[in-house]
Structure 1
C-alpha cells in the first residue's frame, strides 16, 4: 500500500509509528517538540517480542536504558513529562538514572488484579507493575480536572452540609491516588491484541489526559501493540513512536484504522 492510497498516510514524523529502532529514529525528532513521553520498554524478563530486545544481561540492559533515556529526554518541551513502566527488578536503578536528569513526581503502583491462583512458593507473588512519573521542570503541565474520578450520588448526598455546597471537588470528583487498580488484559478481554505485554487503554489515556495538553504531542519509543497511539488519537492528541517488530507495526496500523472516523486524522505506520 502506498502513502497516497493509505487513508492513514501522514507527513513528516508526526502521527506516525516508525518501524525501526528507537535509538536511530529518535535522532529525527526535533528537540523540545514533545509534550509527553510514555515509555514501556522491555522489562529485562526475557520476553519474546520477535527479537532479542528483552534478552540482555543486567549490565547491558542498564547501559541500553541509559542510552535511550539520554536520546529521548532532549525531545521533551521545557514543561514536558515522562511516564515509564517498569517492574521491581530494575525500577530502583532506573529511577536513580531519571532522578539525576528530572524531578520525580510520583511512584505509581499498577495493581493488575491478578487472581489468587498458584504463584511462587519461595517468595511473594508479584502482581503489580511500577510506573515512574517524572517532570522536566517545576511548571510541568498537569490537568487534574481531566482525570478526576466522580463521586457516586450517595457520597454527594452525604456531603450535604452548607460548607460542601458547590464545592468543585465534590461535583467533579477526586484526585486519582498513586495505586491504580486496573485489570490486566487477559486473553478474553475485548481490548486484547496479539502482544504479550499490552497495556490497558484506561491507564494510558489517564496519562495522556493529565500530562499532555489538547493538541499536544505524545512520544512512545517502544510502541508494542500501539496503545499509546490509540490513546493519543482517542484523546485528541498527536503522536509519534517507534517499534522494531514489523508484525506489531501492522497490528498498530490495524488498531488505528479501526478507530471511529471522528478519532482519525492523516497518519501512517512506516517501515
Structure 2
C-alpha cells in the first residue's frame, strides 16, 4: 500500500500493513493537551491517551529493522509518550528543536519551541552529514489544520533520513504535510487520518503536487 491517504483509525488500519514494510515514520500525533486554537478549532482525541499511544506499538511492528520513527511531542505528556515508545521497543536516539518567534501558549514560561524525537528500531545507519538538532521554524499559518506543520519543516527530515523510493508513513497525517514533503522529494508515502475533512484536504494537496511534478517533467 503506497501513495495513498487512508481515512480511518490508525489503531485498526495499521493492522493491514505487513510487518517491516515501512522505511521511515514521520508523525505529529495529538499532544494529549486538549488543544484549542485561537478560533476554537480542536484536535480529535487530543485528550485520549488510550487512542493515541497504542499506535506506536503498531508502528514498531510495521517499521523495518534498523529504521527510524520521528515523532513530534509536547513536553506536558512527554513521560507518557516516552514510556510508550520504550514499551513498544524504540530507543530514543535524538531530539530536534524548532525555536519559534511567537509563543504557542503560556504557563510558567512562554512556549517558544517545538520538539521531535528520533526513535530507533534496532541500529539505523547514521547520515554522513547529520542535520543540526536545532532547525529553522516555518509557520504554516494553520490554514488547513489547527496544528499544521509546514512542509518546509518536514522536508529536511525526509531528505536526511530516507532515500528516493522509500516508503514514509504518517499515522496521524492531518492535512498531509508529511505526505506532501515525501512526494516532492521522490519518496512514496502513506498517510492515515481519522477525520475525513482533513483526509480530503491532504488528497487535494497531493493532487497539486502531482500537477506540479507533471509541469516540471514537461518543462524539462
> Under TM normalisation by the shorter chain, which class is it?
0.7 to 0.9
Q: State which of 158, 169, 176 in structure 2 corresponds to 1:219.
A: 169
Structure-to-structure mapping, 1:177-188, within 5 angstroms: 177-186=132-141
Correspondent of 1:197 among 136, 147, 162: 147
> Could you tell me how far 1:64 is from its partner in structure 2?
3.4
Given candidates 88, 103, 106, the residue that maps to 2:94 is 106
SS in 1 for 2:54: helix
How far apart in 1 are the matches of 2:178 and 2:116?
Answer: 15
Cα RMSD (Å): 2.3
> Structure 1 length as normaliser, TM-score?
0.70
Paired residue for 2:116? 131
The answer to whether the 8 A contact 1:37-1:76 is kept is yes
Q: Paired residue for 1:143, among 122, 127, 147?
A: 127
Q: In the alignment, which residue of structure 2 is the partner of 1:155?
A: none
- The answer for the alignment partner of 1:267 in structure 2 is none
Q: Where does structure 1 differ by over 3 angstroms across 4 or more consecutive aligned residues?
A: 47-52, 63-66, 141-145, 260-264
- Secondary structure, aligned partner of 1:135: strand
Cα deviation for residue 77 of structure 1 reads: 0.6
Ranges in structure 2 where 5+ consecutive residues have no aligned partner: 215-220
Tell me, in whole angstroms, the C-alpha distance in 1 between the residues paired with 2:184 and 2:22: 18
Change (3 A) 1:55 1:102: closer
Equivalenced residue count is 209
**Structure 1 residues 70, 112: closer, same or farther in 2, change over 3 A?**
same
Quote the offset at 1:50 in angstroms: 6.8
The offset of 1:144, in angstroms, is: 4.1
Instruction: Summarize the Cα distance change of 1:97–1:199 in structure 2 as closer, same or farther, 3 Å threshold.
Output: same
- Tell me whether 1:96 sits opposite 2:80 in the alignment: no
Q: Which of 3, 10, 15 is matched with 1:27 structurally?
A: 15
2:156 to 200, 206, 209: 206
Aligned residue number for residue 5 of structure 2: 17
Higher relative contact order (CA 8 A, sep 6+): 1
Give the match's secondary structure for 1:181: coil
How far, CA to CA, are the matches of 1:234 and 1:88 in structure 2? 31
Q: Secondary structure at the match of 2:114?
A: strand
Taking the aligned partners of 2:167 and 2:85, their CA distance within structure 1 comes to 21
Range 66-75 or range 96-105, more displaced:
96-105
Contact 2:27 2:178 in 1 (8 A): no
- Is the partner of 2:55 in helix, strand or coil? helix
Q: Say which SS state the counterpart of residue 198 (structure 2) adopts.
A: helix
Whole-angstrom CA distance in 2 between matches of 1:255 and 1:217? 18
8 Å contact from structure 2 (residues 131, 160) kept in 1? no
